[in-house]
Amino acid sequence: MGGPGDPPEGTPDGAPNGADDEYRSVVFDESFVRAARLQESSAQERIGDHAPAVRRLPPLRRGLSRQALILVVLIAVAFGTAIYMGVRHPYQSSQARPPVAPLRMTVIPLAPQGRVPGATDPEQLYANSPAAQFRTGAEGIPLPAARRTANFSDGQVITALTTAKDYIVRSSLYPEVLTGGEIRAVRVLLDPDQLDQFDRSFRIPTGDGRHAPTGWLVRFDPGHAVLADREIRVQGTMSVIEADSATLEVTADHTFVYALRPAGAGARAEASLFTVRRELLFRFDRDDLRLHQAQLVSSQVQAGPLSCAEDHADRLRPLLAGQTPKAGGPAGTDPYASYGATALCGTLADSAQPKM
């Protein structure tokens, strides 16, 4: 049975039941419906009042963060400081560099007392001469024990000695230098302040005690003599001292013995021995040590057998097997001339020649 007020045939299909009685008081008449405006919100407006379903991540920062950048800068500063301290040794002084002195040189030819002895076998000549016990090549230029000084480290002392040895080897033993054609191998080891003097010596050779190529290196006239044996015999000593708080000095005294033949004579021609004694004084400041360069302060050369009547400033023209010195002495020089050198000549002792 239906409730009060229900139609006898029951509630029609689609009509509200009792649960909807509370909405029966709401009546929308036709004028209200017509006056209502329908407006559909856009998608942006529909989500405006709602949080997005997916959380947005903060944008990625391209490049380094401030902390990382600071760390990189600190590492770079530390690395640069380490390199600077490695180059600037704690022994280094702030004193100004003094001017480099020009090389002072003396070349003294030694004339034989008689005919120059010779033999077809250079080994026979060496065996019968004072050079019999000499070492061969650079082995005859051993380095002394290197110890630190008051103002220079062990490494700096060793650098001075090895640079001086390099100069001696290149200027006395290199075949391309001995033949008179190569000079660059020697030039690159000199302090830059001496290069003008060096270049002038080879451009305008002069026996004035300043500009003789044979004061810088050993070289023969290739049209006169050639090496009969490249196994040059050498003997000598080296020493190093601290000249002052900014300078090391290396003294070298070596005797070189060469076997020579006349140029163009062939291997069957007799060879003879030629002896050169070089006393060299090197000086090194800290710039020289860092650049592996040297200041050649003095060069005292005695060489023979030579003829005193000839000029040996540019190239050496040895007296070869069977030859005798020419008559006459060295050309005279003016002792009052500025930078002039008094011409000197000595006698080669018989004991210095092979006993044949």
The answer to whether 207 and 343 have CB atoms below 8 angstroms apart is yes
Distance CA 313, CA 299 (A): 13
Mean pLDDT confidence for 199-213:
95
The H-assigned helical ranges of 179-328 are 184-187, 195-203, 213-216, 286-291
pLDDT, tens only, 98-132: 889 999 999 999 999 899 999 999 999 999 999 99
Decide if pLDDT at 96 tops 70.
Answer: no
Closest C-alpha among 339, 151, 122 to residue 249: 151
Closest C-alpha among 277, 232, 279 to residue 252: 279
Per-chain mean pLDDT for the chain: 83
Model pLDDT, residue 317? 96
Model pLDDT, residue 334? 46
Model pLDDT, residue 28? 55
136-165: buried (b, 16+ CB within 10 Å) or exposed (e) per residue?
Answer: eeeebbeeeebeebebbeeebbbbbbebbb
Secondary structure letter of residue 220 according to DSSP: B
By residue count, the chain amounts to: 356
Model pLDDT, residue 332? 46
Q: Which residues, in sequence order, are CB contacts of 211 under 8 Å at separation 6+?
A: 197, 200, 201, 204, 205, 313
Extract the tokens encoding 249: 């000095």
pLDDT, tens only, 54-73: 556 555 555 557 777 788 88
Mean pLDDT confidence for 301-309:
94
Decide if pLDDT at 242 tops 60.
Answer: yes
- What is the percentage of the chain residues whose pLDDT exceeds 90? 59
Decide if pLDDT at 355 tops 90.
Answer: no
Q: How many CA atoms lie within 13 A of 314 on its CB side?
A: 11
Distance CA 19, CA 2 (A): 14
Considering only the C-alpha atoms of the chain, give the largest distance between any 2 of them, rounded to a whole number of Å: 170
CA–CA distances in Å: residue 248 to residues 153, 198, 216, 296: 11, 22, 20, 12
- 135-136, strands of its sheet edge to edge: 135-136, 225-244, 247-262, 272-284, 295-304, 104-112, 346-348
Decide if pLDDT at 88 tops 90.
Answer: no
Distance CA 307, CA 113 (A): 11
Q: Which of 63-67, 224-228, 255-259, 331-335 has the lowest mean pLDDT?
A: 331-335
pLDDT, tens only, 314-323: 999 999 999 9
